[in-house]
Amino acid sequence: MHFSLLRTRARSWVFPLTTILILALVGAHASISTADEVSSGVTVAEKKMRLVKTITGDIAPKSVRASGFGLVSAHNMMYRHSVTIYDSAKMELVATIPDQVNLKEFGFAKYPTPVKGAPVEGAYSPDGRYLYVSNYAMYGKGFTKEGTDTCSPADGYDKSFVYRIDTNSFKIDAVYPVGSVPKVVEVSPDGRLLLVSNWCSYDLTVTSLESRERIKRISIGAYPRGITISSDSRYAYVAQMGGSVVHQIDLTDFTRKRLAIGPNPRALQLSSDGKTLYATLNASGQVVALDIESGKVIKRVTTGKAARSLVLTDDESALIVVNYFSDTLAKVRVSDFKVLQKIKVCDEPIGITFDGVHDRTWVACYGGAIKIYQHG
């Protein structure tokens, strides 16, 4: 367990007395700092971002994801065939996990020899114990037709797998079959469902994490990508990047409605009260806010060229977005959609995550680096 990181979401935990004492000692300074910030009314939006570290090495990160419990992962596609894991406090590498697996050992007998994947996106279980990673494609015996960025279900590209990584052992301990060219992966806040958007299958895979069985395949249309799930695990929102809508899916009966949001929606975030949906519109370089009840876009701002990944800070005061063709990172204040800060970050910034434990934003630079920015 990652003791330094247990200040986040409220959960029902029972710890031994020694653990409680350790947590009290480790967290004392952070608790005081947090209390000071709250009493002074300082939000993340008001804190200036400053570069505190650049991580390089044998990486080519398509995305990064904070666990909320002391880890940040980077998913390095077919260019490095790995997932790299970092200590979020020290900002140092703690594990490199190769993407090679023997699918036969997991019950998939049609794949007799070890194969490789191509880690693209990741999501953690609510308790931070497991990391789920989508693989753009699989490589090895039994896989013959690698997917591409321009595709349709009729092309017959190989189906892929999501890996589960145990963050105690840093080993792949389960796999889940999904569609062709899976992109975004999310776990419902109640820990019940795994949702994966399949780029070339034009669908969403819904898997039960208890049974490890697929329970639903939902047709989305051209190029499903971003996913966000309401805090009560009732609704999922899926961006159709090849269109102009977001699909709202009721996870109790899988009925849906379409929300018009604007052309080329890519990344999604949802307010904790479930009332406001935030999205990047890649082609126009905009970030928009959509009121769920009315189904109307109520705010928008241009942040740069090709607005890609988006993250909402834990206090929900700011949205932070990477602009792929502008090579920039932008912070947007949620209250009025004003761009408060824009930073030239790196060539082709593509992924982003917010580590609320330390008020840091991590940015994946496709060319082979991770940039870490401190707020304040």
Q: Are residues 331 and 341 in contact, defined by beta-carbon separation less than 8 angstroms?
A: yes
Residue 286 and residue 339 in contact, taking contact as beta carbons nearer than 8 Å = no
More confident residue, 25 or 357: 357
Mean pLDDT of the chain: 91
Hey, which CATH number is domain 48-375, 2.40.110.10, 1.10.274.10, 2.130.10.10, 1.20.1070.10? 2.130.10.10
Q: Residue 333's closest CA among 309, 354, 316, 350?
A: 316
- What are the structural domain ranges in the chain? 1-42, 48-375
Q: How many CA atoms lie within 13 A of 241 on its CB side?
A: 26
Confidence of residue 41 (pLDDT cuts 50, 70, 90): confident
**Is the dihedral angle over the CA atoms 144, 148, 150, 152 positive or is it negative?**
positive
3-state helix, strand, coil in the chain (%, to 5): 10, 45, 45
- Residues 55-78 have pLDDT tens digits of 999 999 999 999 999 999 999 999
Q: Max Cα separation, the chain?
A: 61
Burial class (CB in 10 A: 0-12, 13-18, 19+), 246: buried
Beta bridge partner(s), residue 97 = 83
pLDDT of residue 347: 97
Res 13: pLDDT: 31
pLDDT in tens, 130-186: 999 999 999 999 999 999 999 999 999 999 999 999 999 999 999 999 999 999 999
Pick from 68, 72, 44, 50: nearest CA to 373 = 50
* Each residue's pLDDT tens digit, 260-299: 999 999 999 999 999 999 999 999 999 999 999 999 999 9
Residue that the structure tokens 């569609």 belong to: 179
pLDDT at 11: 31
Per-residue confidence band for 123, with pLDDT thresholds at 50, 70 and 90:
very high
- Both tokens assigned to 172: 């792949």
Of 15-19, 288-292, 353-357, the range with the lowest mean pLDDT is: 15-19
Q: Can you give the pLDDT at residue 40?
A: 54
What is the rounded distance in angstroms from the CA atom of residue 160 to the CA atom of residue 324?
A: 26
